[in-house]
Structures are given as C-alpha cells and as structure tokens.
Amino acid sequence: MAADSDPESEVFEITDFTTASEWERFISRVEEVLNDWKLIGSNFGKPPEKGEYTSRTWDEKSRDINFADFRFSITHHYLKQECVESEGREDVEEDAFPLAMQDLLCMNNDFPPRAHCLVRWYGVREFVVISPGANCEAIISESKCNLLLSSVSIALANTGCQVPVFVQIQQKWRKMYSGECQGPGVRTNFEMVHLRKVPSQYNHLSGLLDVFKGKIGCPLSPLPPINIAIRFTYILQDWQQYTWPQQPPDFDGLLAGEVGGVEFGKLPFGPCEDPISHLLSFLSELHLATTWPHLTEGIVVDNDVYSDLDPLQAPHWSVRVRKADNPQCLLGDFLMEFFKLCSQKESTEEILGRNSVEEEGKEAMFAYCSPPQKNSDITQALSKLTEPAAVPIPKLSVSNMVHSARKRIRRHRRLDQSPLSNDMLNSILLNLFNLLKSAPSHSLTFRLALCMCLVNFYHGGVRAVAHLWQEFVLEMRYRWENNCLVYGLAAGPPDLRCCLLHQKLQMLNCCIEHKRARDSGSGRDRKEAASENGILSPTSTGAGPTLSETPLGKPWDSWSDSEDEFFECLSDTEEIKDVPADRAKGGAKEVGRAKPEGRLQPHGKLTLLNTDEPLYVPVTQEPAPMTEDVLEEQSEVLAKLGTSAEGAHLRARMQSACLLSDMESFKAANPGCSLEDFVRWYSPRDYVEEEVTDDTGQTVVHSDLSARMKIPGNMWVEAWETAKATPARRQKRLFDDTKEAERVLHYLAVQKPADLVRHLLPCVLHAAMLKVKEEEASEDIHSVRKALQQVISQASKLLRHPSPDCRKLEDIINQIMALEAIVARARSLKAKFGVVKGDKGEDSEDLEKFVSSLLEEPEVAVTGAGRGPAGTIIHKLFGSAQRAALLAPLEEEAGRAGGPENRKPMGGGGVPDFPPPAGREILLRTCVPRPAPYSRALPQRLYCVLMREDFRLAGAFSSDTSFF
C-alpha cells in the first residue's frame, strides 16, 4: 500500500507521434508565405498582348524561410499589369486552366529580350522560385531535390495555389530549375536538361521533334500539329569596312587646335577608338536575331543533311548591341583623374620641393640678389611689403620681388623638376588672361579649372597642377601690386551664387578697382583740399572749386587717409599747416559757420526741419563686399554673443558701422540737421505724417518718428548722438582694400592641390555637362537629354553644400561618363549605318529612327527584315566581315604569286554571307490529351537552346489528374 501511494510511481513517459516534423514545418511555412502574398485560389486574366513582357515592368518580392537549419529564399516574380475588373470573374469557368498553362501556348511574347530566364523558357507571367539562401550550398543530391518538390506539391494542393512554383537545384551558374503547377484536375511538371555539348542526334529540328513526341507520348494518330518557333542569333564582332570618324587627340601638338585634338580651355569628348569594335570591347558586338515565328512540321526541313533555315528568308529580324560595363572615354578619364587629386594631402611646397622658391637677399634688395637660401618661401619675400626699409618707397614693389623670385626659380630649378616648360606655361597664362574670352560663360575661374584638368592629365599630374597654381598665385600678386585688373570676372561685389574661389578672385578685383580709383584721385585730393583752405594752385586764376562743385562721378574712396595704406594723403594737421597766417586767424569763425562738405545732390524738394536749407544727399561709403566664408565667420561671431541684453546691444553696435558712417556723412553735408531729417532720407517709412485737426478746426499735417524709433535705448538715437560731422573722404574706410587683398592672396597661397581641386571641381563638372549637352544637341538623343537634366538637378543640389560628399561627386562623374558613352555609341552606329545629318530621304529617316531605338531599347525589330534599308546594311556588314575573315589569307597568297590580273574574282558563292549561328532557339508547342486518349487536351511545351558549349531542354508537360 505504501508503494502504491508513492506519487513518483504514477509518473510515466508519453510519446506524442502527432508532433510536427521539420519537413512539415517547412511545408507550413511555404503555405503561410503563399497565403500572405494572396496567391491561393484560382487566378484569371486576359492573354498578354504582343511585346508586353518587354514593355511592362517586372517586379519581385522575397522572404527567407528555413528547413531545419538550412535557409531558403522564396521569391515571387510577376509582371505588373492593369487590374482586372471584378466583372471578369463571372466569365471565368470553374474548370478553366491556370494562367500559367494558358501562357505555355501564347505566341505573343516568344523570346523576350529582357526578362527572367524562366519567362523566356516557359512564357509564364507569374511564378515563385525557392532557392538556397546566400552562402548556402547548392541542392545537388537527388533525394533532397525530390524532397523539395514533394514539399512544393503538398503546399500547392493544400492552398489551392495555381501559380507555378520552381525549385533551383544544382549549381547556381547552371540555372537549373524544376517545378510544378496545379489546377482543377490538371498538373504541369516543369523539367530541364542541361549538357555541355550538343548531342549529334539532337543538333537539328528533326531530332528535337523526336524528343518532344517521345516525351508527350500521345496515343492519338495522327498526332495533332506541332507549332514551331525558331530563332537563330548571329554575332558581328568585326567592322572591317568602316573607320571610326573621330580623330584621336594630338598629344604632340596640344596647343595647335587641330580637329579632334585637345586645346586648353576645351574638354575632349568620346573614345579614341571605335566604341563598336571588338578591339576596344566598349560596345563590342552586334547581335542579329532571325526569327521564324509560326512554322509547322511539314513546312520546314532541318536535319543533319539539309536545312531550309536561311537567315535572308526569315520574316522577322531584330538587332541588339552588346555594351561594355566600364567604357573608356576621354571626358570620363579627364574627370576621374582630376577627381583623384582630392585625396592628395601634400602641399604645393612639398610637391615642388623646398628649394623651388628662394629668399631674396637683403643687402642688394631687388636689383642684385644674394645667393639663394634653402627652406625659404615666397611669403617671406612678400612679407617685406610691410617691413620698414631705408630705401625709397617706389623701389619696394611686389612686382619687382615676384619678377626676381621667378628668375631665381627658373635659374635654380633643374629641368626634371619643372613639370611645365616656359613656353607651355606662357601659353596657358595667355589663355587664362585673354581679354577676348572674358565672357560670363568663359570666366577666369572656369578657364582655370579646364586648364588644371588638362594639365593634370597630359603634363605630369599633381606636380604640374601645383606648378601652374604657384605661377597663378604669383600672377595675382603681380596684378594687385601693379593695379592690373583681373579680366574674365564680372564687375561688382563677389557673387555668392558662384564657388568660393571665384568669389575670392572677384574680391581681389574689387580691391584692385578701389586701389586704382584711390591712386587716380590722389592728385585731385590735394588740389581740392588746398582749395577748401583758400590755397590756389599755380595755374589757377580764380577761386578754387569747393566740394559741392566736385563732379558727381568722383569716387568717394579716393579721400581715404587710413594709416595702413602705402600712399600719401592729407590729414587735418597738414591742411592747417598749409593755411596762410592771415587765414589761420579767422579759422575759428569758419569752423563756427560749419561749412557743408560731401554733398552729392539735393534730395528732391525736401528741406531741413529746423532751417529752410535744402536737404542734400551726402556722398557715402559703400558697404564692404564679403565672400561667403567671411559672412559665415561674421555670423558665428554674432551668434556667440548670446541672447542677453548686453550681447544684443553689442551685436547691434557691430552691425551699425555702416549706419554710423552714413550719419556722419549726412551731418557733414547738412549742417544743423536733426535725426528726423536723416530718417526722412534714410528710412522714409519711419517718418510718419498724419493729417489732424487743430483747436481752430483747421486740418494740419503732424509729423513724427515711428514708434520703433522712440523706443528707449534705440540704436539709431545712440548712433546719431555719437556721430560727428565728418565727410566720407575723412572717415575710416569701411572697406580696407589692402587688408582684404592680402587676405585673399594669403588664402590662395596656402591652398593645397587637393583643396584647389575641390574648389575647381564644380567648374569642371559644369564644363563637362555643357560639353555633353553640346555633343547631344548634334545627335538629338532623347534619353541623354532627359538623363542630363537629372544629372544637372542632382549636381546643383549637391554643390550647394560647402563640402560635398566625395562619393556623391564620384557618382555624378560616373553618370556623365555613361552619357558620354551613349553619345559615342550613337555616332558610331550612325556612321556604320550611313545616317547623314540633314538627309531627308525616307530611308534616312527610317535608319535614323532605327539607330535611336537601338540605343534606348534592349532589342529593336528591323523593318522589312533582310530586304529593308537597315537589313540591307546589316547584310553587307556580315558579308564584309565574312570575306575579310575567310579570304584575307587567300588574297595575301595571290598577291605574292602575281599581280592583280592573276587574282580570281571573289564572288559571294564561295563564302557564306553569314557565319554559323552563335545560338539556336527552337520552341515546340502543341495541345494533346495526356496521359490517356480520353484525357483532356492539355498544353505541352519544349524550349531548346543549342550553342557551342551549352545545350538546354526546358519542358513543360501537362497531364490530366482526373481522367488518367
């Protein structure tokens, strides 16, 4: 009893044989995926239209499933079609064939040029493929293959799915598939055979017909007719009678400007060799497909002895060209080689060598230089500009220093250290600073970018780029010192829409313009200043002109007296010293009268509020121009001041420098004026005038400042109280051209070649796009025109960023290279097919349309087959290639044996016009009852591929599962 009451004695093990196995779980997962994709139940649809497999889009969706620890990928491929209306469902019979079986017999889309291989072999528009996952071994074992096919069969039966499901077996490169499709009472098995060599008994149509008849095993006699579709593909690899129309670049005479050559300021375009040639492997082959779409067994004969399949008699011809993946073109090579310089980290000094620029000796100054010293830099010589010297000022010239430094560079640099010769360097600089080419589309920066790109490709790479840049910076220094404007740049302040380097050059030009205006007006400054103090020049016969009588075109910046400048100017002290003694005694009275200065012109009919004097517009200073990097620095400084009251006040003071200068100029031009007068001229909206009625009932105009001008602590009021009556010519300059010019020149001097390339790359890309657009315009290729617009849009967005992503820039270059390749292919094809621009003949229009379609479509039908204009040219191309390949040795032997009179005429009878077909495709279709005579007639299909080292049979054999 004690033992029976023990609870452990009641525990026993139960084996549950209903637990799902791994195989059953795999089948369940397949069924789940088919349900999720809504592939269960019957499917219906109308037959596909002709060419629909090529014109429409194919889509796919995938999911991973596991069989135990082995991963599979299940993919659904389908053709995107218009949704079938629900009304069509009522017309579908319950026992109708699945769509896949209907597609087996459809003849509208035989041999599609662009589709999945299963679509070409079986003609189905929708199917599912189960293949081993990535990094998984192939399914080679026969038992595993049968297990997968059994799983597919069970899943299709359980779900009622009528979409065919294929399983990929054997190695992936063999493209072996086996599958099944089930319908109501019918089943189609998809089988395949793949061999390396073509068996001799199956190397023709009659042998393949025997295989097909034996497989379907139809018991009927006579056998229903078998529909036959045949396609032979011929490959043309040699273009003997046509030469590539583009001339190669002239590498020896780069600056000669010959046709087809490369000259500075122009980018090359196109390949050096024929882009449709077996030598270049760029667009290497032309494939001609001759098709017999509808044949029957008794119409055509093709056996091991005789064949009726003559390509010239084929009713349908189609052509496609084989394109290389990485075409080599001149423009693409230029862009890519220039882009690679972005990864260079060396500076110009490191590339050209430390001894490329020597320091000038101090003893002999600039006329007689001491021996060079190593480890020197041109900046040390240029720094003498601001050092005190005992020599006269005119001899301290940057141009003299630069000229001497250039002489010493060329004297001490060895020949192998100079990437660019003096003649070539002079030619480049002449092109850069040529006034005749200073159009906006050919600015200096634009031409500099092209020259850098060409020099990098042809004349030594990065060393040549560094050498040219060094000389360019010296030229900029020379032009600044000698007041020579930099041509090829738009006048005015820097254009912030352009690249930063272009803005820097525009800023340098602004500095040169201000300096030239100041130097040209310095003589007039002395004369007018003396006239104001009553001093007449020796040639004067009357009173000197006052400031109000000064011509309006006189520049304001010619009156500057900044201590940072290297020119003589008149100060207030000097003017007082120059005043005679009899005039000096009455000076106090003249100051009390506050003589107006710096008047430009009256401001309409306005008068001062406190007096009846006219209100004059003063001569003011212009705001200082700035480049985008300086604007960004200024914004960062202002942002760091914070949001406190003190920070806001300081920020307002920093931003009111121009306002204060204008107030001082206004006070000098309008003695006795008030803030209200200044606001009336400077900001009229802040001076409000209202009509009011006074105590007597009369309407009067009441004027006052706006509300924002009355805010306590207003910056305008504070600036007005601080401002002194000082004309613009005596104010501290808002724009210090000397300081800004030295800043620009220093910026240019410290640029590394990689930094320079990043600055110039937008210009190079712009030039490349213009070149593609120019070349496309002569060819009129719609696809290139459309793609170029997309490239321009992407590049414009990318280049707005100050530091664009290098990967995205490389992608832009690759797209430009692809467009260049398309244009090159178009030119080559037009040359070979005899398309002449401007010819209005009917055949010319057909040929031009044919060539354009050949570039944009995967396969193009030849109108008229071998008898049309394009077909005639293709026939000649193949015939010439055949004669060149087969009879060239015979011609050489005949030439050695005797003269032309001893040679035999070579007619077309001895040499076939076409080579043996590179590939033969034969498609057999019929509809017979299977497996029994009383079974339903079901579609049967066999696709055959016969190539030199490939033999494939892909069969789809249907059987009746209800009546067998």
pLDDT score for 899: 40
pLDDT bucket at 173, cuts 50 / 70 / 90 = very high
Return all residues near 142 (Cβ < 8 A) that are at least 6 apart: none
Q: What is the mean pLDDT of the chain?
A: 75
Query: Has residue 682 got a pLDDT over 50?
Result: yes
Say if strands 285-296 and 937-947 run parallel, antiparallel, or are unpaired: unpaired
pLDDT score for 175: 94
What is the arithmetic mean of pLDDT over 651-658?
71
Which two structure tokens, joined as six digits, stand for 787?
A: 């793609």
Query: Has residue 166 got a pLDDT over 50?
Result: yes
What is the arithmetic mean of pLDDT over 333-340?
76
Q: Give 109-137 pLDDT, tens digit per residue.
A: 999 988 899 999 999 999 999 999 888 88
Q: What CA–CA distance (Å, rounded) separates 238 from 224? A: 45
Q: Give 214-260 pLDDT, tens digit per residue.
A: 998 887 777 888 999 999 999 988 765 554 555 544 444 444 433 33
Q: Give 746-785 pLDDT, tens digit per residue.
A: 988 888 888 888 888 888 888 888 888 888 888 888 888 8
Closest CA to 938 of 143, 100, 13, 30: 100
Which carries the bigger pLDDT value, residue 897 or residue 9? 9
Which carries the bigger pLDDT value, residue 374 or residue 605? 605
Q: What CA–CA distance (Å, rounded) separates 762 from 790? A: 16
pTM: 0.64
Tell me which long-range contacts 627-635 makes (C-beta under 8 A, separation of at least 24): 627/494, 627/496, 627/500, 627/503, 627/504, 627/507, 628/494, 628/496, 628/500, 628/503, 628/802, 629/500, 631/496
Residue count of the chain, please give it: 964
If DSSP states are collapsed to H, E and C, what string results for 378-393?
HHHHHHHHHCCCCCCH
pLDDT score for 208: 94
Q: At what angle do helices 675-682 and 715-722 cross, to 10 degrees?
A: 120
Verify cis geometry, omega within 30 degrees of 0, for the bond prior to 249. Answer: no
Query: Has residue 573 got a pLDDT over 50?
Result: no
Which carries the bigger pLDDT value, residue 405 or residue 922? 922
Query: Has residue 577 got a pLDDT over 70?
Result: no
Tell me phi and psi for residue 522, to 5 degrees. Answer: -65, -35
Return all residues near 68 (Cβ < 8 A) that are at least 6 apart: 22, 26
Query: Has residue 917 got a pLDDT over 50?
Result: yes
Which two structure tokens, joined as six digits, stand for 224?
A: 């229903």
What is the arithmetic mean of pLDDT over 924-932?
92
Q: What CA–CA distance (Å, rounded) separates 226 from 791? A: 52
pLDDT score for 392: 39
Percent residues over pLDDT 70 in the chain = 70
pLDDT bucket at 954, cuts 50 / 70 / 90 = very high
For the chain, the helix, strand and coil percentages under 3-state DSSP, each to the nearest 5: 45, 15, 40
What is the arithmetic mean of pLDDT over 41-62?
87
pLDDT score for 713: 73
pLDDT score for 275: 53
Q: What CA–CA distance (Å, rounded) separates 687 from 678? A: 10
Residue 79 β-bridge partners: 58
pLDDT bucket at 645, cuts 50 / 70 / 90 = low
| Residue carrying the six token digits 């010619």 | 558
- Please name the residue ranges forming H helices in 459-571: 462-481, 500-532
pLDDT score for 324: 63
pLDDT score for 110: 92
Burial of 199 per CB tally in 10 Å (0-12, 13-18, 19+): exposed
Burial of 538 per CB tally in 10 Å (0-12, 13-18, 19+): exposed
H or E element at residue 928: strand 919-929
Q: Give 344-380 pLDDT, tens digit per residue.
A: 777 777 777 644 444 433 333 333 333 344 334 434 4
pLDDT bucket at 14, cuts 50 / 70 / 90 = low
Closest CA to 38 of 151, 184, 160: 160
What is the arithmetic mean of pLDDT over 563-569?
38
What is the arithmetic mean of pLDDT over 527-547?
38
629-638, 798-807, 846-855: segment of lowest average pLDDT: 629-638
SS3 of 65, please?
strand
The DSSP line for 352-365 is H-GGGS-PPPSSST
pLDDT score for 721: 85
pLDDT score for 12: 59
Q: What CA–CA distance (Å, rounded) separates 753 from 378? A: 17
